[in-house]
Structure 1
Amino acid sequence: MSTTGSSVAAVVVAAGRGIRIGGGTPKQYRRVGGQAVLTRTLAALGGHPALDRLQVVIAPDAAAFYAECVAELDPAVRAKLAPPVEGGATRQQSVRAGLEALAQADAPETVLVHDAARPYVDAALVDRAIAAGREYRASVPGIAVSDTIKLVAEATALVSRVRETPAREALRAVQTPQAFAFASLLDAHRSAASADLHSFTDDGALAEWAGLDVVVFEGDLRNRKITQPGDLIEADRAFSDARNPAMTTYVTRLGTGFDVHAFTEGDHVWLGGVKIPADRGVLAHSDGDVALHALTDALLGAIADGDIGTHFPPSDERWRGASSDQFLAHACALVRARGGRIDHLDITVLAEAPRIGKHREAIRARIAEVAGVPLSAVSIKATTTEKLGFVGRAEGLAAQAAATVRLPEEEPVLDAQAETAMRQG
């Protein structure tokens, strides 16, 4: 394992399911003030000039959620991101996965471990964490406890007998980011795993078990962790646009698209970003993927930003034979640039052949990957035209698509004449 002088990296733990908060989407991917919690957390950490690298740990099935969060980050922050790694069954296992990934590259001298569900972290707290991490092998942020704490005999009972009342002056509520000498924390995690201990919920506690002296530095009362549904509501208020201190209001828009291509000589067609063997190809300037072309137009329609020909004119030789997934990626980026969220993508392919049944899941997965949405947000169907029309005569194939997106509601803009009329009326 090598080191890079005084370099600092952060492991961001985002592999949890967030079941206590309810709903089907983990809390780190819920939107507050128009952006996902994880996006805000990464932006806050990645914007710090002393942090060189961010190693995010995600659940095995969260790649699409993660891609959507990353797409909204500033390019300078994205440049600091290492490829995400999959977490384990416990938080401790997830942290170790992040540490091992960092160890495979040039390992940092200092590492911060931070919860994805703490988006309020600010530069001053990161400053204190880095300073403590460089001076001590193990350090955690803590805030004084204002409530009286009781130690009870039966932790799971509805009514428990008090065993002890600790002096609250000596108590601290521990937060993240916690800061460590990288080598010391990695050794502690490996030792715990060797001892078949996997349930530490706090890296400071694991460091204590491993025999490290753990110090507490000043935390931040504002650095709350999103845990309950009410925390999401509060975070949405806190992060909403200053012009609208209440929750950001979104409007749902539906866009549709349609595309058609004639058959020509060839041995394959592209549908939904997947190459499908066929007895003919299609006549097109690009790769002729009718599904992605229709879907691109649907997204552009939802944000009222022209059509695919406006953005990628067929007269431009740059797009000759081009892969259509870049057209879809461009449209998705335009949606997110407006603070929007893609909710659902639905495609119907009209063709006598080729049949897409056995390729359906591959197409859904590819579209989800390009668009940065969950697999459950992509639907593709196919039908024939009962031998009617050019599709029925097997002269070509077509696709129609619908895209549902949410955009921040804009305040109405009135021209001078309309404003005068309103005032006089």
Structure 2
Amino acid sequence: MMFKPLPFYIGLRYTRAKRRNHFISFISLTSMFGIALGVTALITVLSVMNGFEKELRERMLGMAPHVMVFAAGDRGMADWEVMAKLVRDTPTQVTGIAPYVQGQAMLTHRKRIKGTLFQGIDPAIESEVSQVGDNMKQGSLQDLQPGKFNVLLGQELAMAMGVVVGDKVTVVVPQANITPVGVLPRMKRMTVAGIFEVGMHEFDSSLVLMNIADAARLLRMPKAHVHGINIKITQMFDAPKVSRALVDELPIGYYIQDWTYRHANFFRAIKMEKTVMFVILSLIVGVAAFNIISTLVMVVTDKEADIAILRTLGATPNTIMAIFMVQGSLIGVFGTLLGLVGGVSLALNVETIIPSIEQAFNVQFLDSSVYYISDLPSELNWDDVRNIGILSLLLSLLATLYPARRAAKTQPAEALRYE
């Protein structure tokens, strides 16, 4: 015993089950599993939310550019190739550049009308900045030939309009034609050449793609003018840094935006949901910590005679306090370790566990006909694991303070009066 610290040795002895305190040991075990359950739930839920965020981010940025440079006014850029060369010459991580022309329009087919966002693209280089070519259900980007006035529609938009490949639709833009009979809205009959599905409601339900020359002609833009250029970079999270590097090189009248600014509200909402879930699930660990308090209070009451004897043998109040802090901390440490192992194991295998449960019970948690994501994604973040472990250990340690202080204040004479 001389090689073991006294508080640790006695605290470890008190943690073991005795014949007369099985109920206390049961509460200790319950507290330990409560902490393990809370830690496991926190790691798993946050990993799943990280997986959803990553999946949605990749799908969104599969269509939206990482960085966008555009010109002020309706005339747009006079020579986008010069701007593209300027961007490429800047020491950044640019991997793709493509021009665009975009605007709002009303899409009509028979008696159906829907507001849409149309975007003119160059089908030869659009794949450098967008994944729409990889998500075509029918047709291809090469069907958008200049002068043909073909369009590609999102899957949901095509269903809402009741059109299939080969049907004619009318595109009405919010600009007017002045004719001898008065002012008439500008419109153009176009042919549906293909249908795409990228898995994001924002694009599948309202986006219309056409050739960039046809879009510029529809808006009556000057020849060779575009609204801006879309830029794709190597690391999407470096978009703000790339934007700051480019902004000093841009001529007057040109502006730059990155995806973190354009979709800030969306990702801010996801971050807030993760924070709320972290707080809510942390309450499980908090409840288990309260169980540690009740366990130690009962142990202190049960061990008053032992405490008195230790005090008469020379143990200081700090030693008594350390004994019960050790006992409570051991519950927290073992519960946290068990939860970390269970949470990490579950988070790393949730993508295989959930399909097995679905197959075993013949259920489907995420129906592909209702949700855009049919599989439950998971991405384990080791920073989350570290923070959860620290939180659990801290709550367990704090839970030992009150019972330990109460034990330290035990008066030997009072405790031994009736012994």
TM-score w.r.t. the length of structure 1 is 0.22
Q: State the structure with more CA Rg.
A: 2
TM-score w.r.t. the length of structure 2 is 0.22
More helix by share: 2
- Tell me: higher relative CO, structure 1 or 2? Use CA pairs within 8 A at least 6 residues apart: 2
